[in-house]
Structure 1
């Protein structure tokens, strides 16, 4: 679990709630069904028009990575690659065949299988890099869904505020409704700006960070498998891959 992201979400809520209370507006000032419909539903509507269905589905599949990113242990991965390197050096590449089925990661299993099958190193690199590039492209497109929501939400907040002020203008003859109406109008602006800057844009950036980290781990796997395929000395492989640990 990513404790920093969880802390950030809790602090975002606390900043809005605490700020509203400390400013004397109270919690009721933060709740407006009309503002919610205009800003949140409107933002979702805009992003649905903006995004292909497959990308939208992928976006909400990877949203959990903000709190619970994919497991990653590069030290353990390095140790695993070194074990394979030593086996290949002693028993040849076919000695790794028994390790293929035990790999839960499809990418790692595919690379190890190609290694066992005696595929040329450059062909291994080419095929695995296509997989990495394709997956990274798809995941970054999904992350940009939240970035798009962060762009649309403030504009929807302005639309909500304008609609609220229009309603206020229609009630100028009744001064008792003016204060409440103006406050309600600006609630939409809060929804738009706060959701964009405290939720959607940070989510997009966090997902991009996780995606780049995963791609870096995949690059480490590729370099390790290629080095084994080329018969490099295990100590040299360890030195080469150590750079990925930083």
Structure 2
């Protein structure tokens, strides 16, 4: 699990609590159940209305992707695996990789290598793998759009809660002693809407896109490695080509 998302959530909330305390406002003021229910539940409902039922069945997976995404393995590890396979294929032929392929945990790499061993045409192999990458990116984009939609709806729904609260205030003008707490409660809904959008939902959408980009980039690198192995390229050339496809910071680790 990548802890960056949870760390970011925690830092944002702590910063808000510190600000409220310095301003003389008790953080416990946020614990206003009607505002929480309205913003969280109504925001979810509005975003859900924009999806299909098949999409909604994926919600647990989407939230897991946003909050606890799988850690993308270092590209250098994948390069080392591909170079080792290239060495064996160069010496003993593609069929010699059959036993090693069964031990590979990465399903994408495993499928690609198996297709190469089975004699799939190089262009067809590349087309199939690139289509799989495109499909994954499209699916991840739907998950990110759902989170971003929640981030878009939350502030407006918070304002709706504020309006309802102010309506209550206007109906109780004959009780001046209650107006202060009622006005405060009305604005808490707005605070929750803005906070939920900018502390949680929008960052969650951005996190899904970022992890998707990292995974897609690594899958594209694997496609190149599989193609080079299938073509019988020398291990040294495979390493050089794959290293050129990764960020300079990771390439420096590979060189070290």
Compute the TM-score of the two structures, normalised by the length of structure 1: 0.95
The answer to whether the aligner puts 1:115 opposite 2:100 as a matched pair is: no
Q: Residue 84 of structure 1 aligns with which residue?
A: 85
Q: Do the aligned partners of 2:112 and 2:129 also contact (CA within 8 Å) in 1?
A: yes
User: Which digits, 9 at most, give the CA deviation of each residue in 1:15-62, with x for residues without a partner?
Assistant: 222222222121332121111122111101101111123333434314
Q: Which residue does 2:53 correspond to in 1?
A: 53
Which has the higher mean CA deviation after the structures are superposed, 151-160 or 9-18? 9-18
Structure 2 counterpart of 1:22: 22
Task: Name structure 2 gaps, 5 residues minimum.
Answer: 248-256
- 2:195 is matched with 194
Q: Conserved in 1, the CA contact under 8 Å of 2:2 and 2:69? A: yes
SS of 1:245's equivalent in the other structure is coil
> Does the aligned pair in 1 maintain the 2:72–2:215 contact within 8 Å?
no
Q: TM-score, normalization: structure 2?
A: 0.91
Q: Which residue number corresponds to residue 233 of structure 1?
A: 234
Partner of 2:155: 154
Distance 1:52 1:124 in 2: 32
2:34 aligned with 1:40: no
Deviation larger for 104-113 or 90-99: 104-113
Q: Does residue 174 of structure 1 match 2:178?
A: no
- Residue in 1 aligned with 2:252? none
Map Cα deviations across residues 145-178 of structure 1 (whole Å, 9 max, x no partner): 1111000000000000000000000000100111
Task: State the Cα distance separating 1:179 from its structure 2 match.
Answer: 0.4
What is the aligned length?
Answer: 246
How far apart are residue 244 of structure 1 and its match?
Answer: 2.7
Residue aligned with 2:227, SS: helix
**Which residue in the other structure is 1:97 paired with?**
98
Relative to structure 2, which stretch is displaced further, 223-232 or 66-75?
A: 66-75
- Distance in 2 (alpha carbons) for counterparts of 1:53 and 1:135: 19
1:68 positional shift: 4.2
> Match of 1:139?
140
Shift of residue 92 of structure 1?
0.7
Q: Which runs of 5+ in 1 are unaligned?
A: none
Q: Which runs of 4+ in 1 moved over 4 A?
A: none
Q: In the TM superposition, what is the alpha-carbon distance from 1:110 to its structure 2 partner?
A: 0.7
